[in-house]
Structure 1
Amino acid sequence: MEHSVFERQGQLTDRAISPAAYNLAIGLTLLWGFAVNWWMVDNISTEWIRGINPWVFYGGYFASCMLGVSLFARSANPLKSFVGYNLVVVPFGLVVNLVVSRYDSQLVLEAIRITALVTAGMMLLGTLFPSFFSRIASALFVALLLVIVVELVEILFFGVHHGALDWIVVLIFCGYIGYDWGRANQIPRTLDNAIDSAAALYMDIIILFLRILRILGRR
């Protein structure tokens, strides 16, 4: 079994690339995912998505995401990792489509701008203080699990959602962006690792964006 991307210490078959090329590969991979999501929002109707049987939709969503994560996290092949990345991007794009359709376009653009600025800031902090984010990784994971449980209980049993949870999720994923960016710069700089790192960051950024949009929408 191959090691998870962030546990790799380099292999003889890996071809190292320059730091500039590595960061460019991460950036281009992220842009590809965001461009696909933008195209999906612009070209796929929400009525079509809502017409999908809920069991089929959610089953396909989780199956595609889990398969995608398994591919890019375990594979040392850039092409296979890119396929896995797209298996995550597409179902995320369907969810983004449903969410953004509820908000004014100017509010969506504001959420995109804020998300971009926060992401850039957390990447800078992740570069400057990688050891700090590494130390809080376990706390972030526990906090995320706790928030998921609390949200499920609130929605399923009480039919409510407290806005404070959105702020907590924003803080958690700010931490995850710093953590994943710090890890990305501590593993061997190969094309495959760049794609895998971008995939992890993509999920952090999309979830951050959706929560920021929800917070802005309550104004």
Structure 2
Amino acid sequence: MEVEVFDRNSTSDPIIGAAAYNLVIGLTLAWGFAINWFMVTNIDPKSIANISPWVFFIGYFASCFFGIYLFSKSNNPLVSFVGYNFVVVPFGLIINLVVSRYDAELVSEAIRITGLVTIGMMCLGTIFPEFFRKISGALTIALLLVIVVELVEIFVFGIHHGVLDWIVVLIFCGYIGYDWGRANQIPKTLDNAIDSAAALYMDIINLFLRILRILGRK
């Protein structure tokens, strides 16, 4: 185990070309989305809903944090890919529960919008990496604040303001630009490509879920 992926300024691992690096990121993302699609189409959401909430959420967070630890600390591509899957699977369970509440056409629209926004933010992250690096701290603070406000609204007041979904969309748009920008600042190795894809995957899925929620209200 070594330093976290985005803190790596040098490496003894083989460097791959920019095209190959971006291809690995794309293929890794595609793998995660394919696993999620398989879970949505083959797992009955009722079977997930029947799991004890405490068991579900403890397992969810344990799997996610373990996966994040693996891919962020390891410089072994295989270990990082295993860690990535420890994140993809619990996210897939959440996605399954959420999309089961919406019409397939609406889900397709949310996927299309998410894809277009992601491409746009990646372009901006490539052009203005320094800008996204400067706002990364503000993004983290804003996300933590929104999470606290949402929890208070839901569990104390039993309400949810739609404007929070728009705020979260903006936050994860910023994170996509930030993570894509710093993915291209670190050494272009196979392991770093997988690690970068894992970070982008979480940004994109969170963005998709919020966009779907916004579209669902309309």
What is the TM-score when the length of structure 1 is the normalising length? 0.99
Q: Which residue of 1 is the match for residue 173 of structure 2? A: 174
Instruction: Name the CA distance, whole Å, in 1 between partners of 2:10 and 2:70.
Output: 18
Deviation at 1:2, TM superposition (A): 1.4
Write out per-residue CA displacement over residues 13-43 of structure 1, whole angstroms, 9 at most, x where no aligned residue.
x010000000000000000000000000000
Deviation at 1:121, TM superposition (A): 0.1
The letter of the residue matching 1:85 is Y
Instruction: Name the CA distance, whole Å, in 2 between partners of 1:37 and 1:132.
Output: 32
SS of the residue 2:105 aligns to? helix
Count of residue pairs brought into register by the alignment: 218
1:4-23 matches, cutoff 5 A: 4-12=4-12, 14-23=13-22
Instruction: Name the CA distance, whole Å, in 2 between partners of 1:97 and 1:146.
Output: 27
* Residue 123 of structure 2 is aligned to residue 149 of structure 1: no
Q: Which residue of 2 is the match for residue 35 of structure 1? A: 34
SS of the residue 1:17 aligns to? coil
Q: Which residue of 1 is the match for residue 119 of structure 2? A: 120
Q: Which residue of 2 is the match for residue 67 of structure 1? A: 66
Instruction: Name the CA distance, whole Å, in 2 between partners of 1:127 and 1:109.
Output: 27
* Residue 9 of structure 2 is aligned to residue 2 of structure 1: no
The letter of the residue matching 2:162 is G
SS of the residue 2:56 aligns to? helix
Deviation at 1:10, TM superposition (A): 2.0
Q: Which residue of 2 is the match for residue 99 of structure 1? A: 98
The letter of the residue matching 2:8 is R
The letter of the residue matching 1:2 is E
The letter of the residue matching 1:165 is L
Identity %: 74
* Residue 53 of structure 2 is aligned to residue 54 of structure 1: yes
CA RMSD between the two structures = 0.6
Deviation at 1:52, TM superposition (A): 1.1
The letter of the residue matching 1:4 is E
SS of the residue 2:26 aligns to? helix
SS of the residue 1:136 aligns to? helix
Q: Which residue of 2 is the match for residue 159 of structure 1? A: 158
SS of the residue 2:146 aligns to? helix
Q: What 5-or-longer segments of structure 1 have no aligned partner?
A: none
Write out per-residue CA displacement over residues 137-179 of structure 1, whole angstroms, 9 at most, x where no aligned residue.
0000000010000000000100000000000000000000000
SS of the residue 1:56 aligns to? helix
The letter of the residue matching 2:65 is M
Instruction: Name the CA distance, whole Å, in 2 between partners of 1:172 and 1:55.
Output: 28
